[in-house]
Protein backbone atom coordinates (compact mmCIF):
# COMPACT_ATOMS: atom_id res chain seq x y z
CA UNK A 1 0.00 0.00 0.00
CA UNK A 2 3.03 2.26 0.17
CA UNK A 3 4.52 1.39 -3.22
CA UNK A 4 4.26 2.84 -6.71
CA UNK A 5 1.75 5.55 -7.58
CA UNK A 6 0.07 5.41 -4.17
CA UNK A 7 3.28 6.37 -2.41
CA UNK A 8 3.87 9.22 -4.87
CA UNK A 9 0.33 10.61 -4.51
CA UNK A 10 0.42 10.53 -0.72
CA UNK A 11 3.92 12.03 -0.63
CA UNK A 12 2.80 14.82 -2.98
CA UNK A 13 -0.19 15.55 -0.74
CA UNK A 14 1.96 15.85 2.39
CA UNK A 15 4.62 17.97 0.67
CA UNK A 16 2.04 20.34 -0.84
CA UNK A 17 0.25 20.72 2.50
CA UNK A 18 3.34 21.61 4.49
CA UNK A 19 4.88 23.79 1.75
CA UNK A 20 1.72 25.93 1.70
CA UNK A 21 1.73 26.08 5.51
CA UNK A 22 5.39 27.15 5.51
CA UNK A 23 4.74 29.87 2.92
CA UNK A 24 1.93 31.28 5.06
CA UNK A 25 4.30 31.51 8.02
CA UNK A 26 7.26 32.96 6.06
CA UNK A 27 5.32 35.82 4.49
CA UNK A 28 3.88 38.84 6.27
CA UNK A 29 0.55 37.20 7.10
CA UNK A 30 -1.45 37.38 10.31
CA UNK A 31 0.07 34.05 11.31
CA UNK A 32 3.58 35.46 11.21
CA UNK A 33 2.57 38.73 12.89
CA UNK A 34 0.92 36.90 15.78
CA UNK A 35 3.88 34.57 16.09
CA UNK A 36 6.31 37.50 16.26
CA UNK A 37 4.24 39.26 18.92
CA UNK A 38 4.01 36.13 21.05
CA UNK A 39 0.31 35.52 20.39
CA UNK A 40 0.69 31.81 19.69
CA UNK A 41 -2.90 30.58 20.12
CA UNK A 42 -4.02 31.07 16.52
CA UNK A 43 -0.75 29.83 14.89
CA UNK A 44 -0.71 26.74 17.10
CA UNK A 45 -4.39 25.98 16.39
CA UNK A 46 -3.78 26.39 12.67
CA UNK A 47 -0.81 24.00 12.68
CA UNK A 48 -2.75 21.48 14.79
CA UNK A 49 -5.69 21.61 12.38
CA UNK A 50 -3.34 21.07 9.44
CA UNK A 51 -1.85 18.10 11.29
CA UNK A 52 -5.32 16.67 11.95
CA UNK A 53 -6.18 16.99 8.26
CA UNK A 54 -3.00 15.13 7.29
CA UNK A 55 -3.69 12.37 9.83
CA UNK A 56 -7.27 12.02 8.55
CA UNK A 57 -5.94 11.85 5.00
CA UNK A 58 -3.67 8.92 5.88
CA UNK A 59 -6.41 7.25 7.91
CA UNK A 60 -8.84 7.37 4.99
CA UNK A 61 -6.23 6.40 2.37
CA UNK A 62 -4.83 3.45 4.35
CA UNK A 63 -8.10 2.21 5.86
CA UNK A 64 -9.89 -0.89 4.62
CA UNK A 65 -12.90 0.65 2.82
CA UNK A 66 -14.92 -2.53 3.30
CA UNK A 67 -13.26 -5.12 1.10
CA UNK A 68 -15.23 -8.33 0.55
CA UNK A 69 -12.64 -10.96 1.43
CA UNK A 70 -14.86 -14.05 1.70
CA UNK A 71 -18.32 -15.30 0.84
CA UNK A 72 -20.99 -14.03 3.21
CA UNK A 73 -22.30 -17.06 5.09
CA UNK A 74 -24.94 -15.07 7.02
CA UNK A 75 -27.25 -14.81 4.02
CA UNK A 76 -29.25 -17.62 2.50
CA UNK A 77 -28.20 -17.96 -1.12
CA UNK A 78 -29.92 -19.93 -3.82
CA UNK A 79 -28.01 -22.70 -5.49
CA UNK A 80 -28.17 -20.99 -8.87
CA UNK A 81 -25.89 -17.97 -8.49
CA UNK A 82 -26.00 -15.16 -11.00
CA UNK A 83 -22.49 -15.34 -12.41
CA UNK A 84 -23.47 -15.04 -16.05
CA UNK A 85 -21.04 -14.87 -18.91
CA UNK A 86 -21.51 -11.96 -21.29
CA UNK A 87 -23.03 -9.61 -18.70
CA UNK A 88 -21.24 -6.72 -17.05
CA UNK A 89 -20.97 -6.68 -13.29
CA UNK A 90 -23.69 -4.06 -12.89
CA UNK A 91 -26.12 -5.95 -15.14
CA UNK A 92 -25.84 -9.27 -13.34
CA UNK A 93 -29.07 -9.80 -11.45
CA UNK A 94 -29.27 -9.35 -7.67
CA UNK A 95 -33.05 -9.59 -7.57
CA UNK A 96 -34.50 -12.87 -6.29
CA UNK A 97 -36.72 -14.84 -8.59
CA UNK A 98 -38.15 -16.71 -5.57
CA UNK A 99 -38.26 -16.04 -1.85
CA UNK A 100 -34.67 -17.29 -1.59
CA UNK A 101 -32.13 -14.47 -1.74
CA UNK A 102 -29.86 -14.48 -4.76
CA UNK A 103 -26.36 -12.99 -4.69
CA UNK A 104 -24.24 -12.46 -7.76
CA UNK A 105 -20.71 -13.77 -7.92
CA UNK A 106 -17.99 -11.34 -8.99
CA UNK A 107 -16.37 -12.30 -12.28
CA UNK A 108 -13.02 -10.90 -11.12
CA UNK A 109 -12.40 -12.09 -7.55
CA UNK A 110 -15.04 -14.88 -7.72
CA UNK A 111 -16.63 -13.91 -4.39
CA UNK A 112 -20.31 -13.42 -3.72
CA UNK A 113 -21.12 -9.72 -3.77
CA UNK A 114 -23.42 -8.32 -1.08
CA UNK A 115 -25.94 -5.78 -2.33
CA UNK A 116 -24.47 -2.30 -3.02
CA UNK A 117 -20.95 -3.71 -3.42
CA UNK A 118 -18.84 -3.37 -6.57
CA UNK A 119 -15.50 -4.64 -7.79
CA UNK A 120 -12.78 -1.97 -8.05
CA UNK A 121 -10.36 -2.59 -10.89
CA UNK A 122 -7.67 -0.48 -9.23
CA UNK A 123 -7.83 -2.07 -5.76
CA UNK A 124 -8.65 -5.53 -7.19
CA UNK A 125 -11.29 -6.14 -4.53
CA UNK A 126 -15.05 -5.92 -4.20
CA UNK A 127 -16.02 -3.10 -1.81
CA UNK A 128 -19.11 -3.02 0.40
CA UNK A 129 -21.41 -0.05 -0.21
CA UNK A 130 -19.02 1.11 -2.93
CA UNK A 131 -19.06 4.86 -3.51
CA UNK A 132 -16.08 5.53 -5.80
CA UNK A 133 -12.34 5.08 -6.14
CA UNK A 134 -10.68 8.36 -5.20
CA UNK A 135 -7.38 9.01 -7.04
CA UNK A 136 -6.38 11.70 -4.51
CA UNK A 137 -6.34 9.26 -1.60
CA UNK A 138 -5.53 6.30 -3.89
CA UNK A 139 -8.13 4.17 -2.16
CA UNK A 140 -11.75 3.22 -2.54
CA UNK A 141 -14.43 5.02 -0.57
CA UNK A 142 -16.80 2.42 0.82
CA UNK A 143 -18.80 1.31 3.82
CA UNK A 144 -15.99 1.43 6.38
CA UNK A 145 -14.25 4.69 5.46
CA UNK A 146 -16.96 6.80 3.82
CA UNK A 147 -17.86 8.71 7.01
CA UNK A 148 -14.16 9.35 7.65
CA UNK A 149 -13.80 10.58 4.08
CA UNK A 150 -16.61 13.10 4.63
CA UNK A 151 -15.02 14.18 7.93
CA UNK A 152 -11.67 14.59 6.17
CA UNK A 153 -13.30 16.78 3.50
CA UNK A 154 -14.92 18.95 6.19
CA UNK A 155 -11.65 19.45 8.11
CA UNK A 156 -9.72 20.02 4.88
CA UNK A 157 -12.23 22.68 3.81
CA UNK A 158 -11.83 24.54 7.11
CA UNK A 159 -8.02 24.42 6.76
CA UNK A 160 -8.14 25.65 3.16
CA UNK A 161 -10.54 28.52 3.87
CA UNK A 162 -8.49 29.53 6.90
CA UNK A 163 -5.31 29.35 4.82
CA UNK A 164 -6.94 31.45 2.08
CA UNK A 165 -7.85 34.09 4.66
CA UNK A 166 -4.28 34.11 5.97
CA UNK A 167 -2.86 34.40 2.46
CA UNK A 168 -5.14 37.37 1.80
CA UNK A 169 -3.88 39.06 4.95
CA UNK A 170 -0.30 38.83 3.71
CA UNK A 171 -0.67 40.81 0.49
CA UNK A 172 1.32 44.05 0.60
CA UNK A 173 0.43 47.28 -1.18
CA UNK A 174 2.48 48.64 -4.08
CA UNK A 175 2.20 51.76 -6.27
CA UNK A 176 1.92 49.79 -9.54
CA UNK A 177 0.44 46.45 -10.62
CA UNK A 178 3.82 45.27 -11.91
CA UNK A 179 5.49 45.93 -8.58
CA UNK A 180 2.53 44.43 -6.68
CA UNK A 181 2.71 41.21 -8.73
CA UNK A 182 6.47 41.03 -8.24
CA UNK A 183 6.17 41.55 -4.49
CA UNK A 184 3.29 39.15 -3.95
CA UNK A 185 3.95 36.57 -6.68
CA UNK A 186 4.64 33.62 -4.36
CA UNK A 187 1.75 34.42 -2.04
CA UNK A 188 -0.57 35.01 -5.03
CA UNK A 189 0.34 31.62 -6.52
CA UNK A 190 -0.26 30.00 -3.13
CA UNK A 191 -3.63 31.72 -2.71
CA UNK A 192 -4.67 30.61 -6.23
CA UNK A 193 -3.84 26.98 -5.49
CA UNK A 194 -5.66 27.15 -2.14
CA UNK A 195 -8.71 28.80 -3.76
CA UNK A 196 -8.95 26.10 -6.44
CA UNK A 197 -8.58 23.35 -3.84
CA UNK A 198 -11.17 25.05 -1.61
CA UNK A 199 -13.73 25.12 -4.43
CA UNK A 200 -13.03 21.48 -5.31
CA UNK A 201 -13.35 20.29 -1.71
CA UNK A 202 -16.50 22.38 -1.20
CA UNK A 203 -18.18 20.79 -4.23
CA UNK A 204 -17.09 17.31 -3.13
CA UNK A 205 -18.32 17.81 0.43
CA UNK A 206 -21.63 19.25 -0.71
CA UNK A 207 -22.27 16.44 -3.18
CA UNK A 208 -21.40 13.72 -0.65
CA UNK A 209 -23.61 15.23 2.05
CA UNK A 210 -26.46 15.44 -0.46
CA UNK A 211 -26.06 11.80 -1.50
CA UNK A 212 -25.70 10.69 2.13
CA UNK A 213 -28.95 12.48 3.00
CA UNK A 214 -30.64 10.34 0.31
CA UNK A 215 -28.80 7.16 1.38
CA UNK A 216 -27.35 6.63 -2.06
CA UNK A 217 -23.79 6.44 -3.34
CA UNK A 218 -21.90 8.15 -6.16
CA UNK A 219 -21.82 4.88 -8.10
CA UNK A 220 -25.57 4.29 -7.65
CA UNK A 221 -26.36 7.91 -8.52
CA UNK A 222 -24.26 7.88 -11.71
CA UNK A 223 -25.07 4.32 -12.86
CA UNK A 224 -28.63 3.87 -11.64
CA UNK A 225 -29.91 2.87 -15.09
CA UNK A 226 -27.42 -0.01 -15.26
CA UNK A 227 -27.57 -1.41 -11.71
CA UNK A 228 -29.88 -4.41 -11.57
CA UNK A 229 -31.40 -3.80 -8.12
CA UNK A 230 -32.19 -0.14 -8.93
CA UNK A 231 -33.33 -0.16 -12.54
CA UNK A 232 -36.43 -2.09 -11.45
CA UNK A 233 -37.42 0.86 -9.24
CA UNK A 234 -39.12 4.04 -10.33
CA UNK A 235 -37.16 7.12 -11.35
CA UNK A 236 -37.69 8.80 -7.97
CA UNK A 237 -37.71 5.64 -5.86
CA UNK A 238 -34.77 4.74 -3.63
CA UNK A 239 -35.30 1.50 -1.69
CA UNK A 240 -32.62 2.46 0.85
CA UNK A 241 -34.02 5.91 1.67
CA UNK A 242 -35.40 6.09 5.22
CA UNK A 243 -35.77 9.86 5.43
CA UNK A 244 -33.09 12.55 5.65
CA UNK A 245 -32.58 12.49 9.43
CA UNK A 246 -32.50 8.70 9.67
CA UNK A 247 -30.15 8.53 6.69
CA UNK A 248 -27.73 10.98 8.28
CA UNK A 249 -27.98 9.27 11.67
CA UNK A 250 -27.35 5.86 10.15
CA UNK A 251 -24.39 7.13 8.16
CA UNK A 252 -22.57 9.05 10.90
CA UNK A 253 -23.68 7.30 14.10
CA UNK A 254 -24.37 3.62 13.30
CA UNK A 255 -21.26 1.46 13.12
CA UNK A 256 -20.89 -2.03 11.71
CA UNK A 257 -21.79 -3.85 8.53
CA UNK A 258 -25.34 -3.34 7.26
CA UNK A 259 -27.16 -6.16 5.50
CA UNK A 260 -28.62 -4.03 2.71
CA UNK A 261 -30.65 -6.94 1.34
CA UNK A 262 -32.80 -6.78 4.46
CA UNK A 263 -33.25 -3.00 4.13
CA UNK A 264 -34.09 -3.39 0.44
CA UNK A 265 -36.86 -5.96 0.91
CA UNK A 266 -38.18 -4.38 4.12
CA UNK A 267 -39.26 -1.44 1.95
CA UNK A 268 -41.46 -3.84 -0.04
CA UNK A 269 -40.02 -2.62 -3.31
CA UNK A 270 -42.17 -3.41 -6.35
CA UNK A 271 -39.77 -5.47 -8.46
Q: What is the pLDDT of residues 240-259, one digit of tens each?
A: 999 999 999 999 998 888 88
Q: Give the closest residue to 112 by CA, choosing from 147, 167, 168, 71.
A: 71
pLDDT of residue 2: 54
Range of the domain at 160: 1-263
120 is catalytic: no
Q: Which of 73, 134, 140, 233 is catalytic?
A: 134
Domain presence at residue 270: no
**Could you tell me the pTM of the whole model?**
0.85
Cα–Cα–Cα angle for 215, 156, 59, nearest 5°?
A: 75
The segments of the chain whose pLDDT lies below 50 read 73-87, 91, 95-100, 269-271
- How many angstroms separate the CA atoms of 9 and 110, rounded? 30
Domain presence at residue 268: no
Domain presence at residue 104: yes
CB 187 within 8 A of CB 20: no
The DSSP string of the chain is --SHHHHHHHHHHHHHHHHHHHHHHHSSSHHHHHHHTT--HHHHHHHHHHHHHHHHHHHHHHS---EE-S--TTS---SS----TTS-TTTS--S-SSSS---EE-TTT--EEPTT-EEETTTTEEETT--EEETTTTEEE-TTTHHHHHHHHHHHHHHHHHHHHHHHHTPPP-SSHHHHHHHHHHHHHHHHHHHHHHHHHHHHHHHHHHHHHHT--HHHHHSTTT-HHHHTS-TT--TT---HHHHHHHHHH--S---HHHHHHHTT---
Domain presence at residue 269: no
pLDDT of residue 232: 78
pLDDT of residue 175: 86
Domains held by the chain: number? 1
Exposure string of 30-48, with b = 16+ CB inside 10 Å and e = fewer, is bbbebeeeeeeeebeebee
Amino acid sequence: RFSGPRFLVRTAHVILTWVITLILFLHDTDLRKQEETGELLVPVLFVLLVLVSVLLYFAVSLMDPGFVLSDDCDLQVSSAESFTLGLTEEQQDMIPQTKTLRLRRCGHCLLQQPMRSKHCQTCQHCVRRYDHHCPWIENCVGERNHRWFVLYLAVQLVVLLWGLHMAWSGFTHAPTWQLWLKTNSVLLATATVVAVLSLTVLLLLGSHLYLVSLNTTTWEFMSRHRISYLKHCGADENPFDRGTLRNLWGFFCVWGTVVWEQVYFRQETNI
